[in-house]
Structure 1
C-alpha cells in the first residue's frame, strides 16, 4: 500500500509540477496573490484527486466524484503536455536571446490559451456523435456471395458517470442509416454495472443488422460485472461471443463470426472467463473465412497463428488525448487503423466510439466504422 501510494504521489507531482513552473513560477513575476491562488488550486488538486478517484471509481461508484476526478485529470494532462512544450520553447528563446523580460509571461499566456482551446475543442469532440469512417477490407478467402458485406464497428462506448443516454440513441440512429449486414461491439461497453448504465445501454437494442449483432467483453467489463454485461447484451438481442462463434450466410457463402473474452479475463478470477480462441472456433469449418472480435489489438499474434482472416479490436482510443498515443504504442502493436499480420491476417483497430474517463478527445477522433468486406485480392 505504501509503495502504491508513493507511486501515485510521484505521478501527481510529475503531472502538476510543469504547469506550476511554466504558468506561475518560471520568471513570470505575477503579483503574489495570483501566484498564491494558482499554487493553492494545484495543491488542492494534488491532495483531493486520489480521494475523488477512490470515491468515483471504487466500490461506492459516486458518479459526481468520478466526473470531477476524470475531468480534472484530462485538464491536468493537457496542461502538463503544453507546459512541457512551452518550457522547451522558453529554453530555445533564452538561448536565442529573444523575448526579453516579457518572454516568460508570453510563453505562460500561450500555454494557457492553447490548453484552454484544446480542452474546449476536445470536449466537443468527445461528446459529439462520431463521424463514420469507411474502409474496404479485402479478404482473399471471402466467397463471392459475401463480397460487399457491410460490417459496422462500435467499440469503447464506455457508458459512465456522464449520462449519455441521448448520445447513445443518436449513435444508434447513425448506425441504422448505414444498412449494416453485421454490427460488432468490440468491448468496453461501460464503466459501471448493467443496472447503473441501463438507460445508456438501452438504445443498443434498437440497432439493426441484416445478419448478426455480436459483442465481446473488454477489460472494463471485468471491473463491473462482465457476466452481467453479457446477459444484458443478450437481453437486448445481441449475440454475446463468449469464446464462441456464429455462422452467417450471404449469397450462398458463409462467414464465421468468432469472439473471445478480453485478455484480462483470466486474471479477473471470474469462473469460465478467459481468452480462448480454440474454444471460440470449436466446430467451425476451417475452410470458411473467420472474422474474430477481440477487444485488444495485442491478441493479434494468436489470431495470426490460427490463420484468422480479420480481427476487429478497439481498446486504444487512438490515444484519446495527444500525445498519449505514444504511450499506448508501448503496450499495443497498433494504435488505430488497418494493419497486416502474418500471411493472412488483417487487423482493424478502432479509435473507439466513446471515451474513457476524461471527457476529451484531442487529435484522436472517435469513430463509427463501416468496413466493407471485399472478396479476392492479396
Structure 2
C-alpha cells in the first residue's frame, strides 16, 4: 500500500492553523479588554442594561471580526465586509489606546484619594468622548484631499541645469473597498496644479486587482509632468496582481520602474530615475519580481546623480551602499493612527520626513496620500509632497 506521507504530516497544518487562530483570538481579546474594563466595568457602577449592551457589542465585534476580515480581504474580496472590518479595527484601536491612557489616569486619581463610581464614570465618559472626537476628526483627515507638503532637497551632484526640478510624490493611495474615484480625480487635479517636472508614485496603489479598482485608478491617467511619471510596486500590489498593476500604470501613461531606470535631461544635465520592486516581491513567487538594484542601475553613468524610488524605507542601506543620492519611499503612512507610529519604527528606519544615511544618501519618506484599511488618520496627516531639487550644498535632516 502506498504511503500517504510522513506520520503526523496532515496534523502539522492543523496545528499551525490552530496556533495562528489562538494568536488572533489573543490579540482581539487584548484589544477589546481595556475598552470593556475602562468604559463599563472599572467601578463605574453603570445600570445593568448599560453593562450588558456594552459587553454584547464588544463580544460581537470580537467574534465577527475574523470572519469579516477573511471575507473582505481574502479570496472573495467582498468590499462591504472589508469596509465593516476595517472600520471596526480603527475604532477598537482608538478605544484601546485611550482606554489604556484613561486607566492610567484612573490609577493616578485613586492615588490622590479620588474614589468611587463618580471618578470611574468621569474617566469612562472622557475616554468615550475623546475617542469619538478623534474618530470623527480622523475620518475627515483620511477622506480629504491631502495638503501639499513642500520641501527643498539639495543634491551636491545635481547639475545646475536641473536646479529647481520639481518632483511631486504620491504614495500609498490604496484604492480599496471605499469607492474614492472622486477623491482620486481631485488628487490628480491637485498634482497638476503643482506644475511638476517629475511625478513619482512610490507604490501601494490599491488593495485589489486592476479590474476591481479600474475607476478609482483611472484619474492617474490625467496626471501631467514635463519630464517623467514613474511608478514602483509596493507590498500591497503583491496581493492583487502586481504585474497587472505594472501594465495598468503603463496604460495610464506612467513609466513602471520594474528594476530599471530612465534618464531625464534639462539644461545639459541629467538625472537618473531608478526604481526597484518592493522588498516583498521575491517572496511572492512571481517570476522576475524582486528588488534588484544592480539591474535598476545597469548601464548608468556613475557620475550622474540618482533618484531611487523604493517603496519601503528599509531599502535605504542598499541605496546608501550604492551611493544613491536620494531615495523616495512611502509604506509607513506616518503610523496612520497614533500611536501606531512607534510600532512602525520597530520595522522601518524612518517613519516620515527627510533623513540622511551615510555620506551621500538622503531618504524622503512620505506619510502617504491615502490610507490603508481603517478610514482614519489620527496625528498622521496624509500628504502630496513637492520636493524641489537644488544643486550643490547639503540638506539638513528633517
Which TM-score tier does this pair reach, normalised by the shorter chain?
over 0.9
Quote the Cα distance in structure 2 between the aligned partners of 1:252 and 1:68: 54
Matched, 1:306 2:325: no
Decide which of 225, 234, 239 is 1:223's aligned counterpart.
Answer: 239
Q: Which whole-Å deviations, capped at 9, do the CAs of 1:91-143 have from their partners, x for residues lacking one? A: 00000112544000000000000000000000000000000000000000000
Name the CA distance, whole Å, in 1 between partners of 2:268 and 2:173: 34
Aligned twin of 2:50: 34
Q: How does 1:1-378 map to 2 (within 5 A)?
A: 1-98=17-114, 100-378=116-394
Q: Deviations over 1:20-67 (max 9, x none)?
A: 000010001111011001100000000000000000000000000000
Query: In 2, distance between residues paired with 1:26 and 1:53?
Result: 30
Structure 1: unaligned runs, 5 residues or longer? none
Once residues 301 and 114 of structure 2 are traced to their aligned partners in structure 1, the CA distance between those partners, rounded to angstroms, is 70
Residues in 1 aligned to 2:291 and 2:19: alpha-carbon distance in whole angstroms = 31
After superposition, the C-alpha distances for 1:171-192 in whole angstroms (9 at most, x for unaligned) are 0000000000000000000000
Q: For this pair of structures, how many residues does the alignment match?
A: 378
Tell me the alpha carbon deviations over residues 284-310 of structure 1, each in whole angstroms, 9 at most, x when there is no partner.
111100000000000000000000000
Kept in 1: contact 2:43–2:116 (CA 8 A)? no
Question: Counterparts of 1:149 and 1:276 in 2: how far apart (Å)?
Answer: 27
Q: Deviations over 1:144-185 (max 9, x none)?
A: 000000000000000000000000000000000000000000
Q: CA RMSD in A?
A: 0.5
TM-aligned CA deviation for residue 250 of structure 1: 1.1
Provide the C-alpha distance between the structure 1 equivalents of 2:266 and 2:347, rounded to a whole number of angstroms: 37
What SS does structure 1 have at the residue aligned with 2:347?
coil
Give 5+ residue unaligned stretches, structure 2: 1-16
Scaled by the length of structure 2, what TM-score is found?
Answer: 0.95
How far, CA to CA, are the matches of 2:370 and 2:112 in structure 1? 44
Q: Distance in 1 between matches of 2:208 and 2:44?
A: 44
SS of equivalent residue, structure 1 residue 284: coil
**Post-superposition shift, 1:339?**
0.1
2: CA distance, partners of 1:339 / 1:239: 26
SS in 2 for 1:257: strand
Q: Name the TM-score, length of structure 1 as normaliser.
A: 1.00
- Provide, for residues 227-285 of structure 1, a one-character-per-residue CA deviation record: whole Å limited to 9, x for no partner: 00000000000000000000000111000000000000000000000000000000111
For residues 361 and 281 of structure 1, the distance between their equivalents in structure 2, rounded to whole angstroms, comes to 36
